[in-house]
Amino acid sequence: MGGAIEEPIDSSDRPFDGLRSASPILRGSVMAELSPGHELERAEEYGRALLNILEDFTGERARAGETQKAILNILEDLDDEKAKMEAANLELRRSNAELEQFAYVASHDLQEPLRMISSYTQLLESRYKDQLDEKAKRYIFYAVDGATRMQGLISDLLLYSRVGSHPRPLLRIDSHAALGEAIRNLGAAIAESHALVTNGDLPLVHADRVQLAQVFQNLIGNAIKFRGALSPRVHVTARREGATWQFCVRDNGIGIEPRHFERIFVIFQRLHSRDEYPGTGIGLALCRRIVDRHGGRIWLESEPGKGSAFFFTLQAA
């Protein structure tokens, strides 16, 4: 009769309780995972993992220490080798300086005796030539010729030794003026061989004027000496290469085989006999020594029968 009507309860208005709503079997499983025993096992596993990480870290640290010690030992060895190398370089420089001084003194002191030998032998020939037979005259010729060649060799050796033992400062100079000096010094050889020496525009460079003239003189002199059937033609040019100028002395001579490109720059090395081409074998070695002193380099391009082109570099002014 007249009792209150109960409204149905909407289950969506209640908060969801997963454990209560789950089946008894699932509810037991979840409770087992959250039990204190399982948490303790997990904590032990984490602890063991941390210990393993610490052990690995300790091992890596020990290996890093060993590596560091090895690197320090290598650095100490390098310092020792560097000190030994510096000492060897110092000794080499000292030895080279002594050799240069010896060459200079020996060359200078030998000049006078050779001049006397040559002069008195020629005087003997001029005064007693009517009393000498052909064999005696031939002997006198050999003596004079030998003394003259020795004088030339000593003079070149003296020039070679002076490059390092008596250096002049490198100044801002006109390379065209240095070339002109070389051509004047070669005037007789140029006229005799009917050679033609030409040049392009030549720059200002940092150099020793006397030594640069010597380089031009040796290269042009070789072009005249080692000529073919045609009259010698020599052309000198220069082009800018960054902070340097690259010079080229090109000729129409007999040329050089590539296998001799390095040998010709070694002192006293000759590719021909004195009967074929006179000389001391010092000229190109002197050129390399001068160019090295200027901080440049020298090389060539050549083919037998097609002439040669000698290149060298100098600092731009």
Whether 87 shows a pLDDT value over 50: the answer reads yes
**What percentage of residues in the chain have a pLDDT greater than 90?**
33
pLDDT at 92: 76
Whether 192 shows a pLDDT value over 50: the answer reads yes
Write down the H helix ranges in 129-270.
134-165, 175-185, 187-193, 209-225
Whether 269 shows a pLDDT value over 50: the answer reads yes
pLDDT at 26: 46
Q: What are phi and psi of 35, to 5 degrees?
A: -75, 155
pLDDT at 280: 66
- Domain membership of residue 86 (yes or no) is no
- Domain membership of residue 220 (yes or no) is yes
pLDDT at 73: 83
**Number of domains forming the structure of the chain:** 1
- Domain membership of residue 296 (yes or no) is yes
In this structure, what CATH number is given to the domain that contains residue 305?
3.30.565.10
Query: In whole angstroms, how large is the CA radius of gyration of the chain?
Result: 45
- Domain membership of residue 105 (yes or no) is no
**What percentage of residues in the chain have a pLDDT greater than 70?**
79
pLDDT at 53: 80
pLDDT at 25: 47
For the chain, the residue count is 317
Burial of 204 (0-12, 13-18, 19+ CB in 10 A): middle
Structure tokens of 23? 């089946």
More confident residue, 200 or 150: 200
Whether 239 shows a pLDDT value over 50: the answer reads yes
- Give the pLDDT mean for 193-203: 96
Q: How far is CA 109 from CA 141, 146, 151, 193, 194, in A?
A: 24, 18, 11, 34, 37
pLDDT tens, position by position, 153-191 = 777 777 777 776 666 788 999 999 999 999 999 999 999
pLDDT at 296: 96
Q: Is the dihedral of CA 210, 216, 217, 219 positive or negative?
A: positive
Burial of 206 (0-12, 13-18, 19+ CB in 10 A): middle
Residues 6+ apart with CB under 8 A from 316: 203, 204, 205, 206, 240, 243, 244, 245
Tell me which H or E stretch contains 48: helix 36-128
pLDDT at 135: 85
- Domain membership of residue 141 (yes or no) is no
Res. 114 pLDDT band, cuts 50 70 90:
confident
pLDDT at 166: 61
Mean pLDDT for all residues in the chain: 80
Among 10-19, 38-47, 116-125, 199-208, the minimum mean pLDDT is found in: 10-19
pLDDT at 246: 98
Q: CB of 302 within 8 A of CB of 228?
A: no
pLDDT at 267: 78
- Domain membership of residue 68 (yes or no) is no
Rounded to two decimals, the pTM is 0.60
Whether 195 shows a pLDDT value over 90: the answer reads yes
Whether 1 shows a pLDDT value over 50: the answer reads no
- Domain membership of residue 254 (yes or no) is yes
- Domain membership of residue 121 (yes or no) is no
Please give the span between the terminal C-alpha atoms of the chain, in angstroms, as a whole number. Answer: 127
Q: CB of 316 within 8 A of CB of 245?
A: yes
Whether 272 shows a pLDDT value over 70: the answer reads no
pLDDT tens, position by position, 27-72 = 444 444 546 667 777 777 877 777 778 777 777 777 877 888 888 8
- Of these ranges, 48-52, 81-85, 235-239, the one predicted with the greatest mean pLDDT is 235-239
Whether 107 shows a pLDDT value over 70: the answer reads no
Domain that holds residue 299: 171-315
Residues 6+ apart with CB under 8 A from 34: none
249-265 exposure pattern, b = at least 16 Cβ within 10 A, e = fewer: bbbbbbbbeeeeeeebb
Whether 130 shows a pLDDT value over 70: the answer reads yes
Residues 6+ apart with CB under 8 A from 62: none
